[in-house]
Amino acid sequence: MLSRVPGGPETLEIAELPDPTPAPGQVLVAVRACAINYPDVLMIEDKYQFKPQRPFAPGGEIAGVVEAVGEGGTGWTPGDRVIAVIGNGGLVEKVGVPAAQLHRLPEGRDFAEGAALLLTYATTIHALADRGRLAEGQTLLVLGAAGGVGLAAVELGKAMGARVIGAVSSEAKAAAVREAGADEVIVYPRGPFDKDGSKALAEQFKAAVGPKGADVIYDPVGGDYAEPALRSIAWEGRYLVVGFPAGIPKLPLNLTLLKSCDVCGVFWGAFAARDPKANAAHVERLFALWAEGRIAPRVTQRFPLDHGGEAIAALTTREAIGKVVVEIA
């Protein structure tokens, strides 16, 4: 499924391309599932920080079966079940992937689950552990808690011993967040907010996190939700900037002074490239938590490849719960 021109999901089209062959150091993967994430929405509109050369296939994380191994692609053999984060190019039947980027899909896990694991959970464990320094007994406030990264933050926050408050925009989303283990869930109104609405939302956040405030705030939403959330932060708290589907906010920096707090950017892709050993340790921990049943990717919508545009459109409305996956026959 190709993006030939900038635009929304309706601009994507199915096309036939020659079968790829693995370059040196690569493995050819027959893709069985490709998870959809918000960067896919931005990438096809030319609004993401990386702009692939067109035509390109969106889809940044895949699961599949090794079909062939290029020269130097050590460690893999045809038939191995694998998962990988590839940035883009996943909505295809076959793709060449550097051998070092592959991880083995555990037995008993289906391809859709595997495709839905790495990007959201690896982003989140880096955010909470490295950027947020979340510790046992601390309070974590998660905005957009029913989305892919939001549910990952709820589960990982609980696994790290935190008290987790999930914030969502509907009762249906609240049910999913409670099921994921949140200690408390609040339903906030839809923005944009005027001054009174912003103040009311701040009070809602403050009431939920308690008088000491939130030690860590995980924000994959942005927009008019950011400042009210920041007003609920604890002394020396950490505000994690993860994404902006509601728009890029502007924060009053006097709040950071008054709370002596940190505003921390979270760019997992750059972290993984700069410190692959630390990222590999995080991924190993994720597989252990997955095996223990303490985290579990929630795939709530599945689409065939020729409906891949609909899968991306599902994320544009901000109504999706958990992960959306395209399955490829």
Pairing of β 103-104 and β 94-98: unpaired
The H or E element spanning position 137 is: none
Give a yes or no: residue 94 inside a domain: yes
Residues 86 and 103 in one domain: yes
Q: Is the pLDDT of residue 36 over 90?
A: yes
Q: Is the pLDDT of residue 319 over 80?
A: no
**Residues with Cβ within 8 Å of residue 192, at least 6 apart in sequence:** 223, 224
**172-220 per-position pLDDT tens digit:** 999 999 999 999 999 999 889 999 999 999 999 999 999 999 999 999 9
Q: Is the pLDDT of residue 318 over 80?
A: no
Residues 242 and 224 in one domain: yes
| Separation between Cα atoms, residue 55 and residue 171, nearest integer Å | 40
Q: Per DSSP, what are the bridge partners of residue 325?
A: 35, 302
Residues 174 and 91 in one domain: no
Residues 93 and 46 in one domain: yes
Residues 22 and 73 in one domain: yes
**284-314 per-position pLDDT tens digit:** 999 999 999 999 999 999 999 999 999 999 9
What tokens appear for 243 in the block? 């994404």
Q: Mean pLDDT of all residues in the chain?
A: 95
Q: How confident is the model at residue 83 (pLDDT cuts 50, 70, 90)?
A: very high
**276-286 per-position pLDDT tens digit:** 999 999 999 99
Say whether 117 sits in a helix, a strand or coil.
Answer: coil
Percent of the chain with pLDDT over 70: 100
Give the residue numbers spanning the domain of 17: 9-117+297-327
Give a yes or no: residue 184 inside a domain: yes
Give a yes or no: residue 186 inside a domain: yes
| Separation between Cα atoms, residue 77 and residue 73, nearest integer Å | 9
Give a yes or no: residue 311 inside a domain: yes
State the pLDDT at residue 171.
93
Q: Answer yes or no: are the C-beta atoms of 31 and 328 closer than 8 Å.
A: yes
Pick left, alpha or beta for residue 103 (phi over 0 → left; psi -120 to 50 → alpha; otherwise beta).
Answer: beta
What tokens appear for 182 in the block? 């949140």
Q: What is the CATH number of the domain that holds 227?
A: 3.40.50.720
Q: Answer yes or no: are the C-beta atoms of 10 and 309 closer than 8 Å.
A: yes
Give a yes or no: residue 18 inside a domain: yes
Query: Which of 317, 313, 298, 261 lies closest to 121, judged by CA?
Result: 298
| Separation between Cα atoms, residue 130 and residue 125, nearest integer Å | 8
Please measure the distance between the N-terminal and C-terminal CA atoms of the chain and give it in whole angstroms. 14
Residues 62 and 101 in one domain: yes
Query: Which of 227, 103, 120, 228 lies closest to 180, judged by CA?
Result: 120
Q: Which of 220, 250, 269 is the last residue of a domain?
A: 269
Q: Please identify which residue in the block is written with the tokens 């994380």.
A: 61
Region 121-150 average pLDDT: 97
What tokens appear for 5 in the block? 């021109």
Q: Answer yes or no: are the C-beta atoms of 116 and 148 closer than 8 Å.
A: yes
Residues 63 and 199 in one domain: no
Residues 262 and 319 in one domain: no
Q: Is the pTM of this model over 0.85?
A: yes
| Separation between Cα atoms, residue 279 and residue 236, nearest integer Å | 26
Q: What is the CATH number of the domain that holds 71?
A: 3.90.180.10
Pairing of β 81-85 and β 61-69: antiparallel
Residues 135 and 215 in one domain: yes
Give a yes or no: residue 17 inside a domain: yes
Residues in the chain: 329
State the pLDDT at residue 320.
84
Q: Is the pLDDT of residue 221 over 90?
A: yes
Residues 52 and 130 in one domain: no
Residues 214 and 236 in one domain: yes
Q: Please identify which residue in the block is written with the tokens 């900037």.
A: 241
Dmax over CA atoms of the chain, in Å, equals 63
- State how many domains the chain has: 2
Give a yes or no: residue 288 inside a domain: no
Quick one: CA torsion of 61, 66, 68, 69, rounded to 10 degrees?
Answer: 80
Say whether 176 sits in a helix, a strand or coil.
Answer: helix
| Separation between Cα atoms, residue 4 and residue 97, nearest integer Å | 22
Residues 47 and 87 in one domain: yes
**DSSP notation for 259-280:** HT-EEEE--HHHHHHH-HHHHH
State the pLDDT at residue 158.
98
Give a yes or no: residue 286 inside a domain: no
